[in-house]
């Protein structure tokens, strides 16, 4: 029901349109106000930690004002919203991002300077919101940023983990995990909403609803409460503010008053502990399915609370349920939120009393699904007995979804028993398993991959039968993108200034195509020099960061060769470090005179390994062992340095990415769905050394093949190589053999530690084809060196690359989703249309 304008509405409008003043005095006052009233400190006792908190709260006031206006307006306009459901949001820091979006950075810098603080130091007080593992979680954060900046009515939905991605320490060369207690200090960037709390049921049994043959009453044994926390997402260049709604398992509802009254104080809170566990910790797996029961309950808590919230908001419009797809689009970020499909079916059938067919029509028109991997070990499957125990009603619904789907396929392709077995949502294994990717596919009207090659591969592999059954049009590509706000404007101020100078204003931040103008400056000598200087300044900044985080001194004039990402066999950090070993060997063979002529190089690694991923952890140990020997070798000096930066994070990436000369994206062809850091590196003027995989391919197409160094076998060749290597020992070339020999001669400590890594190639079938790609990899390194020695050629490559990267803005990705998947339009809040 839309409210008629009232006195209250006018008051709200007056408040909303009187934006808080932007002058330094007002800013200083608001900081001091929060210092004293929110944190009970005085200016005399203010340290930089409290200066950060007080400043952050004062910025937050401004955001919340805009947040209210945005959501009130979208409600009134009855705008169709998109809900981006993701178990991960890798947000990083917010303070600097918000200052830039509000265009208040200068003002805060001045205000804080007046009270004796440096803005850069204060920014460093903020801890990352690390509610994600890697690319998938960061993509979700970039996407909500792009929705806000382009005025799309959209919300992210996720979980508020008490412990985010673990902190990585390196002890004796090994990764050691420590908990990420990010909520130990106050978090200015979340807004608790105790009034938005939903009950979420688990376990129990079903009773038939006497009034209908297909409705059930679910008598659950356990009920948890999910409470909302809203995280505002500042839009740049607009007053719209987006939102990420994160659920936290609420504890006090489980207080057992009977136990308490009988004197069992401790027992009275027993249930709280159990409830809390559901949102306690992020599972640290990237591209692997762990299959733990706790994770399943976490996923369901998330899906149930989100669906209840979406339905509650929809019902406020007063429209009939069948109109849901006209007002809501839901995107599944991989299969992790797929229980949203049977949960919506349950709500529509058991609570809203719709028929199965009506409910199914609404559900499939509402959901769309993004696949992010084809790695078999990442495919989510849940045992039927586990689902049956925890979610009996949902298991029943999933059986029925499968039954009706199989029946329709049987009609379409009569008698094809093998087809039915292949596509069944329930895998006939012992025990039976629910294939979540199939459920997500059947429950959605669109399925997409995240780069052109990946979207083709899924059509030819996991969804091949589904393409035949459901038609080509359902399966589309949406190449990933990254936010130019964070991944240029915020992390690379020097290069951003150059872009602003070339474009004439800051419009490129929201319209990356404007950087095309750079091409006009590629011959401008003065500009080229300043381009080079900007990169050098970033390298100097990274060298300082490396010194403080590792104690290693590196020369900023060397070539910076970077591979930073999750440690995974398919990403082949092992191949990289083996090539470093080979390089070390070659340098050792040279005369001092020849060695002095070599290009100086700093090889940078960073990345976390999932706690249970033993091989990945051994790779970290090998990198650190090689670094220790090489860096201490006085003969080698600055010619080669190897650095493993501990505790890779969004914030670390913001230091590292602007400073790379080359970055490595060297997955076995066909295994990296897209990659997104490849886009960030090129956007920051770095050059890619990579395989013909994921988004590397499209980056090459956009910027021109002279600007990228490709090597290695192609995706369509992989199967044959793998097949061959299952039956034949690989034959390492001389370079690879040399690297093995050095390890086996205990050059980097006890060879026994690293033998399993060598064996994974020589005896384990070399699944990721290191032995196949190594020769061309070494060749490609040589080509990179030659190119880097020619500084003028290098600067040209760098400038042209940045000029041609507009496709990889997440703004473009979001526009495509909005038009082709979600059917939503921008709704911009401004003072004129607010009075509608």
**Which residues contact ligand GPU (rule: CB under 6 A)?**
133-136, 139, 286-287, 334, 372-373, 378, 450, 480, 672-676, 694
Q: Least CB distance from residue 784 to ligand GPU, whole Å?
A: 23
Token pair 């990403």 in the structure block, residue: 571
* C-beta closer to ligand GPU: residue 119 or 144: 144
Beta carbon of residue 291, minimum distance to ligand GPU (angstroms, whole number): 14
Instruction: Characterize 559-587 residue by residue with b for buried, 16 or more Cβ atoms within 10 angstroms of its Cβ, and e for exposed.
Output: bbbbbbbbbbbbbbbbbbbbbbbbbbebb
Q: Is 49 within 8 Å of 121 (Cβ atoms)?
A: no
- Cα gap 261→353, rounded to integer Å: 41
Which residue matches tokens 């692997």? 288
In whole angstroms, how close is the CB of 378 to ligand GPU at the nearest point? Answer: 5
CB nearer to ligand GPU: pick between 153 and 449: 449
DSSP-derived letter for residue 787 is: H
Least CB distance from residue 135 to ligand GPU, whole Å? 3
Please state the closest distance from residue 283 (CB atom) to ligand GPU, in A: 10
Q: How far is CA 702 from CA 227, 355, 677, 696, 811, in A?
A: 45, 49, 16, 10, 17
**What is the rounded CA–CA span in Å between residue 142 and residue 231?**
14
Three-state secondary structure call for residue 373: coil
Token pair, residue 717, equals 């060749």
- In 3-state terms, the chain is what percent helix, strand and coil (to 5)? 55, 15, 30
What region does 151 belong to: left with phi over 0, alpha with psi -120 to 50, or beta?
left
What lies within 8 Å, CB to CB, of 351 at 6+ separation is none
Please say which residue, 87 or 362, places its beta carbon nearer to ligand GPU: 87
C-alpha count within 13 angstroms, C-beta hemisphere, residue 647: 21
**Residue 240 or 285 having the CB closest to ligand GPU:** 285
| Length of the chain, in residues | 836
Helix runs in 18-124, H state only: 24-33, 48-76, 95-101, 105-114, 119-123
Helix (H, G, I), strand (E, B), or coil: what is residue 222?
Answer: strand
Cβ proximity of 744 and 696 under 8 Å: no
In angstroms, give the least distance from the CB of 249 to ligand GPU. 23
**What whole-number distance in Å separates Cα of residue 574 and Cα of residue 567?**
9
3-state secondary structure of 547: helix
- Cβ proximity to ligand GPU: between 200 and 453 the closer is 453
Residue number, 136 or 344, with CB nearest to ligand GPU: 136
Token representation of residue 244: 């990420």
CB of 805 to ligand GPU, least distance (A): 16
Q: Which is nearer to ligand GPU, 646 or 670 (CB)?
A: 670
**Least distance from ligand GPU to the Cβ atom of residue 672, Å:** 5
Q: Which of residues 12 and 570 has its CB atom nearest to ligand GPU in the complex?
A: 570
Q: Which of 825, 142, 86 is nearest to 479 (CA)?
A: 142
Residue 298, C-beta contacts closer than 8 angstroms, at least 6 positions apart: 87, 159, 278, 279, 283
Evaluate whether 600 touches 558 at the Cβ level (below 8 Å): yes
- Rounded to whole angstroms, the Cα distance separating 283 from 292 reads 10
Tokens of 634: 């006085």
Q: How far is the CB of 129 from ligand GPU (least distance, A)?
A: 17
| DSSP strands (E only) in 351-422 | 367-370, 381-383
From 414, 404, 350, select the one nearest 212 (Cα to Cα): 350
Q: How far apart are CA 350 and CA 211, in angstroms?
A: 11
**C-beta of 60 vs 665, nearer to ligand GPU:** 665
Helix axes 7-17, 48-76, angle to 10 degrees: 130
Please report which residue ranges of 189-278 form alpha helices under DSSP H.
257-261, 265-268, 270-277
- Considering only CA atoms, give the Rg of the chain: 28
Cβ-based neighbours of 166, under 8 Å, separated by 6 or more = 177, 178, 179, 180, 284, 608, 611
Please enumerate, as own/partner, the contacts of 351-359 that have beta carbons within 8 Å and a separation of 24 or more: 352/321, 353/212, 353/215, 354/321, 355/214, 356/214, 356/400, 356/404, 358/321, 358/322
What are the structure tokens assigned to 591, written together?
Answer: 């005369």
The nearest distance, CB 558 to ligand GPU, in angstroms, is 29
Which residue in the shown chain puts its C-beta closest to ligand GPU? Answer: 135
> Residue 691 Cβ, how far from ligand GPU at the closest point, in Å?
12
Active site positions, annotated? 372, 565-566, 571, 676, 680
Write down the least CB distance from residue 618 to ligand GPU, Å. Answer: 21
Greatest extent of the chain over all pairs of C-alpha atoms, in Å: 91
């Amino acid at each position: 029901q839309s409210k008629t304008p009232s006195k209250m509405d006018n008051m709200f409008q007056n408040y909303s349109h009187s934006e808080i003043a932007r002058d330094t005095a007002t800013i200083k006052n608001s900081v001091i106000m929060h210092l004293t009233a929110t944190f009970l400190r005085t200016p005399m006792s203010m340290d930089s930690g409290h200066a950060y908190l007080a400043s952050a709260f004062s910025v937050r006031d401004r955001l919340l004002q805009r947040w209210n206006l945005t959501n009130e307006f979208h409600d009134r306009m009855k705008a169709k919203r998109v809900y981006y459901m993701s178990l991960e949001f890798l947000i990083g820091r917010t303070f600097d991002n918000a200052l830039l979006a509000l265009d208040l950075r200068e003002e805060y810098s001045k205000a804080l300077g007046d009270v004796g603080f440096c803005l850069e130091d204060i920014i460093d007080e903020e801890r990352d919101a690390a509610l994600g593992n890697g690319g998938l979680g960061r993509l979700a954060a970039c996407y909500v940023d792009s929705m806000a900046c382009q005025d799309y009515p959209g919300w992210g939905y996720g979980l508020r983990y008490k412990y985010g991605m673990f902190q990585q320490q390196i002890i004796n060369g090994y990764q050691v995990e420590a908990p990420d207690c990010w909520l130990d200090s106050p978090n200015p960037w979340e807004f608790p909403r105790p009034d938005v709390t939903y009950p979420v049921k688990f376990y129990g049994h079903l009773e038939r609803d006497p009034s209908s043959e297909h409705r059930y009453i679910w008598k659950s044994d356990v009920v948890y409460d999910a409470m909302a926390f809203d995280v505002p997402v500042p839009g740049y260049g607009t007053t719209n503010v987006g939102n990420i709604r994160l659920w936290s398992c609420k504890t006090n509802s489980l207080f057992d008053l009977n136990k308490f009254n009988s004197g069992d104080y401790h027992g009275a809170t027993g249930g709280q502990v159990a409830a809390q566990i559901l949102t306690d910790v992020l599972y640290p797996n990237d591209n692997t399915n762990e299959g733990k029961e706790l994770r399943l309950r976490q996923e369901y808590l998330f899906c149930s609370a989100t669906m209840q919230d979406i339905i509650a908001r929809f019902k406020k419009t007063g429209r009939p349920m069948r109109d849901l797809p006209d007002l809501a689009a839901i995107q599944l970020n991989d299969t992790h939120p797929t229980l949203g499909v049977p949960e919506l079916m349950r709500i529509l059938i058991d609570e809203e009393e719709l028929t199965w067919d009506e409910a199914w029509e609404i559900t499939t028109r509402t959901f769309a699904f993004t696949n992010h991997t084809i790695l078999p070990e990442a495919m989510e499957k849940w045992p039927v007995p586990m689902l049956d125990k925890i979610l009996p009603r949902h298991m029943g619904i999933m059986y029925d979804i499968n039954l009706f789907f199989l029946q329709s396929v049987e009609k379409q392709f009569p008698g094809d028993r093998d087809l039915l077995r292949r596509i069944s949502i329930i895998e006939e294994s012992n025990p039976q398993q629910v294939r979540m990717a199939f459920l997500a596919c059947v429950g959605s009207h669109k399925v997409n991959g995240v780069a052109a090659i990946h979207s083709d591969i899924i059509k030819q592999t996991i969804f091949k039968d589904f393409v035949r059954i459901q038609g080509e049009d359902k399966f589309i590509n949406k190449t990933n993108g990254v936010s130019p706000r964070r991944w240029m404007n915020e992390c690379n101020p020097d290069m951003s200034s150059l872009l602003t100078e070339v474009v004439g204003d800051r419009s490129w931040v929201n319209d990356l195509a404007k950087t095309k103008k750079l091409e006009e400056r590629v011959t401008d000598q003065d500009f080229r020099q300043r381009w080079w200087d900007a990169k050098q300044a970033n390298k100097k900044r990274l060298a300082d960061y490396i010194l403080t985080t590792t104690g290693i001194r590196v020369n900023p004039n060397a070539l910076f060769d970077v591979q930073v990402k999750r440690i995974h066999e398919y990403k082949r950090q092992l191949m990289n470090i083996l090539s470093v070993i080979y390089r070390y060997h070659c340098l050792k063979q040279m005369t001092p005179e020849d060695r002095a002529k070599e290009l100086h190089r700093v090889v940078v690694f960073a990345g976390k390994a999932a706690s249970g991923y033993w091989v990945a952890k051994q790779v970290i140990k090998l990198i650190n062992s090689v670094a220790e020997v090489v860096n201490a070798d006085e003969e080698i000096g600055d010619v080669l340095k190897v650095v493993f930066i501990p505790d890779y994070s969004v914030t670390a990436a913001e230091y590292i990415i602007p400073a790379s000369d080359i970055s490595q994206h060297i997955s076995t062809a066909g295994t990296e769905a897209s990659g997104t850091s490849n886009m960030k590196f090129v956007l920051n003027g770095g050059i890619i050394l990579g395989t013909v995989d994921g988004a590397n391919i499209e980056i090459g197409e956009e910027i021109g093949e002279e600007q990228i160094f490709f090597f290695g076998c192609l995706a369509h060749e992989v199967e044959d190589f793998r097949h061959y290597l299952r039956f034949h020992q690989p034959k390492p070339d001389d370079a690879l053999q040399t690297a093995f020999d050095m390890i086996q001669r205990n050059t980097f400590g006890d060879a026994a530690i690293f033998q399993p890594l060598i064996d994974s190639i020589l005896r384990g079938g070399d699944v990721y084809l290191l032995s196949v790609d190594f020769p061309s990899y070494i060749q490609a390194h040589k080509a990179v060196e030659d190119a880097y020695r020619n500084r003028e050629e290098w600067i040209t490559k760098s400038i042209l690359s940045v000029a041609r990267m507009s496709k990889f803005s997440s703004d473009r990705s979001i526009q495509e989703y909005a038009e082709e998947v979600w059917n939503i339009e921008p709704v911009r809040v401004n003072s004129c249309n607010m009075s509608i």
